[in-house]
Amino acid sequence: MKRTRIRPPIAQLLLVTLGLAAVPSAALGQAQTNPAILSQMSIEDLMNIEVTSASRKEQRATDVAAAIFVITQDDIRRSGMTTIPDVLRLAPGVQVAQINSNKWAVSVRGFNSLYSNKLLVLVDGRTVYTRLYSGVIWDAEGLMLDDIDRIEVIRGPGAALWGANAVNGVINILTKSAANTQGGLVRADAGRSGTQAAVRYGGAIGSGHYRAYSQWTGRDESLIAAGTRADDRSRDLTTGFRADWTTPPGALLLEGAFTVGQARALWGNLDPETFAASPVSADPSESKGGHVLARWTHTRKSGATFQIQSFADVVRRQEPIADYSRHAFDIDSQFHTAIGARHDLVAGAGLRFIGEQLNGRVGSALTPPDDHSRLVTAFFQDEIALLGKRLAVTLGSQVQHDSYAGLGVQPSVRAMWSGFSRQRIWAAASRALRTPSLVDRGILVAYPPTPTDAGLPLFLSVVGNPAAKTETLVDAEGGYRIEIAAAASIDVTAFTGRYQHLQTQEVSAPVVEFVPSPRLVVATHFGNRLEATTRGLEISGHWTPLPAWRVDASYSAFRVAARLDAGSQDPLSALTDGNAPRHQWQLGVTFTPGAHATVHFAAFHVGRLASAGVDAYTRGDITAEFRLMGRLSAMVIGQNMFQAAHAEFTGDNSLLQGTQVARSASVRLRWTFR
């Protein structure tokens, strides 16, 4: 599939520019020229580097121009974190806010929400966003963090290559090849915020390898305020496998997983006919889901590759407000080849069928309650080497046909200059589309009544718009990277984006109704009457002053200026700050005194969220890992050290209530065996 084929070269670019000491072995499919990094690799990794004609093409592919950050397995491990959204805090320019103990709002470059709808998330090439609201149900992916090879976070539009929904970012999660997870692993985490237990075993199967794993996560309650628990426990169990066979010239990947979970949350009053005090506890959400994926890659002697991938997934959720189910089937192919000495071409096509059903309970409904859609995509990208390979220009476009939104074109042009030693300068212009979700088109939410001065209670409702428009983004960005020997690197990106047809909530004139009881009724309809201009700056870097020390730091600034179309009845939306702070920064310091211990400290500062009314906070984490004997290690983890409890987000217009994240301490034991 297009995603995975392009990934390794981009990862390499990062390895080169950031001078990462830990080189994920799956990224080593191709060679590169940085001697300092090569000398850090193991002999096995060196022996895996392609030195044939393929290297010429791959060499060029290292220079893909995009704002990208790679979270490595080492980063994940020393962070002490146990969920994917938390791990994403490590990337610059990503907004991660915990809503309650088991829900997160995650976005890149703003427009953050529990229902963030401009982000594409992939796990091993499988799209995990749901078309219901074009967002990601983060608690449905019980990924075992130990088996993740790396997470590539691409800020900015990636639609030309990645397709639907890659509007303001792409998060590409890649798990390790089964060959790299041989033997057994047992891990247990226990502490204030919850418990997690994971078991994995990998072995050989014919000429290939497999692993099977299971992970149980139990998350403890967050707080309503310091000292008051929020009744939002959750638990989930994921069991899965991955198998890889490599028999040149072909390679086969099979994977699958099944997750069952239960989550409690604090809700607002769910009954639109009563004035019950808010918040209330409701029945837990029950969820189950699973997927299978297969991918075949054929590599020709020339280095050209052909890949075909297919996946199917099923999701079923019973929420206090609605029952939701989805089944999806996707097939995708991709061809990648060099043409002459200058052109590197990737082209592909895909087809996806999605069937979804939402049956509302009290206060919500979807019209029509079920939907079957078809998405056809095709894309090409050509990277052209110019000026003696110092300049690489990449032209690409994706064309999609959506059974609801019709034809969409998402082109991009990128250029990278690598004529100065250890430096890269790049620029890109792209267009990306966010097609309307089922919720945008057909939702009805009736909010519980609010008393008013007039004496009549106010009944507010939100109504979808069957004629919802596609949101568009035209984005320009540019960046500079410099690597200062192998010891330090700096990466700077500036961007500006222009969004059109952003969703608004158009308020109709109040109506007085007398049945079933006297009331004031105000309906708001979704419109597309907002334009916004975003701009921002993202700086990240690392520094290794001494072999035992490593410092990582990043800073991001973000601004959004929104303008309403004349005639819009949603004045508040023009005041949005995109639920992203104007400033956020992070600092990580890692000290490795020897082979037996690693101490890591991290601070994450998130500025005030003005629209949501959430104060600025600084999260402080510290971890210390000790290798006790042989293959057994122990880690002590302290999270949110600076405050007893703090809020990171609000319920965000949904009936779900935001809570506070508490300070916590936990212990992790990790044992590996052959």
Partner 1 sequence: MSERRAGRLWRGVAALAVALLSAGARPGAAADAASAAQDAALKAAFVYKFAQFTNWESLAAGAPIVMCTAGDEAVSAALVDSLRGQSINTHPIDVARQGENTTWSACHVLFIDAGEVRRSTGGLSAIRTLPILSVSNGKGFADRDGIIELYVDRGKTAFAINIDATARSGVRLSSQLLAHARIVRDRDVK
Our finding on whether 52 is near partner 1 (CB under 8 A) is yes
Strand partners, 80: none
Partners of 536 in beta bridges: 495, 558
Q: Which is nearer to partner 1, 52 or 281 (CB)?
A: 52
Residue 497 Cβ vs partner 1, minimum distance, rounded to whole Å: 11
How far CA 408 is from CA of 397, 401, 434, in Å, comes to 10, 6, 10
For residue 43, what are the contacts with CB-CB under 8 A and spacing of at least 6? none
| Beta-carbon contacts of residue 108 (< 8 Å; ≥ 6 apart) | 93, 94, 95, 119, 153, 155, 156, 168, 169, 171
Amino acid at 134: S
Residue 595 touches partner 1, criterion: CB under 8 A: no
Residue 482 touching partner 1 (CB under 8 A):
no
- Rule CB under 8 A: say whether 384 interacts with partner 1: yes
- In DSSP terms, 173 is beta-bridged to 123, 151
Task: List own/partner pairs for 12-16 with CB under 8 A and 24 or more apart.
Answer: 12/58, 12/61, 12/62, 13/62, 13/63, 13/64, 13/68, 14/68, 14/69, 14/70, 14/152, 15/70, 16/62, 16/483
389 touching partner 1, by CB under 8 A: yes
Cα separation, 520 vs 56, whole angstroms: 70
Residue 423 interacts with partner 1 (CB under 8 A): yes or no: no
Whose Cβ is closer to partner 1: residue 386's or residue 454's? Answer: 386
Among 355, 411, 457, 620, binds partner 1 (CB under 8 A): 411
| Residue 536 beta carbon to partner 1: minimum distance, rounded to whole angstroms | 18
**Sheet of strand 645-647, all strands in order from the earlier edge strand to the far edge:** 228-229, 223-225, 660-662, 645-647
Residue by residue, DSSP assigns 324-357 as: EEEEEEEEEEEEEEEETTTEEEEEEEEEEEEEEE
Write out the two tokens for 58: 């791959």
CB of 305 to partner 1, least distance (A): 13
Among 74, 273, 286, 382, binds partner 1 (CB under 8 A): 382
Q: Which is nearer to partner 1, 410 or 505 (CB)?
A: 410
Among 206, 248, 594, 613, binds partner 1 (CB under 8 A): 248
Q: Any idea of the CA torsion for 243, 247, 252, 254, to the nearest 10 degrees?
A: -10
State the nearest-atom distance from the C-beta of 143 to partner 1, in Å. Answer: 31
- Does position 15 bind partner 1 by CB under 8 A? no
Instruction: For partner 1, give the closer residue by CB, 314 or 345.
Output: 345
Residue 134 beta carbon to partner 1: minimum distance, rounded to whole angstroms: 23
CA distance linking residue 115 with residue 443, whole number of Å: 14
Specify whether the CB–CB gap between 197 and 220 falls below 8 A.
no
Nearest approach, Cβ of residue 339 and partner 1 (Å): 9
Q: Note whether 565 binds partner 1 by CB under 8 A.
A: no
Half-sphere exposure of 338 (CA within 13 A, CB side): 18
Whole-number Cα distances in Å, 568 to 440, 442, 501, 574, 652: 17, 20, 12, 10, 21
Strand-pairing partners, residue 638, are 622, 665
For residues 499 and 585, which CB has a smaller minimum distance to partner 1 in the complex? 499
The single-letter code of the amino acid at 515 is: V
Choices 64-72, 141-149, 337-345, 359-367; region in contact with partner 1 by CB under 8 A? 337-345
385 belongs to the binding site for partner 1 (CB under 8 A): yes
341 binds partner 1 (CB under 8 A): yes
226 contacts 660 by C-beta, under 8 angstroms? yes
List the one residue from 15, 16, 26, 54 that touches partner 1 (CB under 8 A). Answer: 54
Which is nearest to 473 in space by CA: 445, 489, 495?
495
298 binds partner 1 (CB under 8 A): no
427 binds partner 1 (CB under 8 A): no
Restricted to residues 26-45, the positions that interact with partner 1 (CB under 8 A) are: 31-36, 38-39, 41, 43-44
Q: How far is the CB of 186 from partner 1 (least distance, A)?
A: 27
252, 280, 393, 616: which one contacts partner 1 (CB under 8 A)?
Answer: 393
Q: Which of 229, 235, 361, 498 binds partner 1 (CB under 8 A)?
A: 498
Binding mask 440-479 for partner 1 (x = CB under 8 A): ----------------------------------x-----
Site stretch for partner 1 (CB under 8 A), options 50-58, 199-207, 313-321, 554-562: 50-58
CA–CA dist 346, 397 (Å, integer): 11
CA distance readout (Å), 332 to 115, 172, 527, 614? 27, 16, 33, 42
Binding status of residue 507 toward partner 1 by CB under 8 A? no
Residue 111 C-beta: closest distance to partner 1, Å: 19
Closest to partner 1 by CB, 55 or 239: 55
Q: Got the DSSP string for 453-499?
A: TTSSPEEEEEE--TTPPPEEEEEEEEEEEEEETTTEEEEEEEEEEEE
Residues in contact with partner 1, counted by CB under 8 A, come to a total of 43
- Looking at residue 515, the DSSP 8-state letter turns out to be S
555 contacts 576 by C-beta, under 8 angstroms:
no
Please tell me whether residue 206 binds partner 1 under the rule CB under 8 A: no
Among 413, 494, 632, 669, binds partner 1 (CB under 8 A): 413
Q: Return the number of the residue (342 or 582) whose C-beta is nearest partner 1.
A: 342
Q: Among 21, 22, 49, 260, which residue interacts with partner 1 (rule: CB under 8 A)? A: 49
Query: Using the rule CB under 8 A, is 340 a contact of partner 1?
Result: yes
594 binds partner 1 (CB under 8 A): no
Candidates 22, 50, 216, 369: give the one binding partner 1 (CB under 8 A).
Answer: 50
Residues found near partner 1 in the complex (CB under 8 A): 31-36, 38-39, 41, 43-44, 46-52, 54-56, 59-60, 248, 340-343, 382, 384-386, 388-389, 393, 395, 411, 413, 429, 431, 474, 485, 498
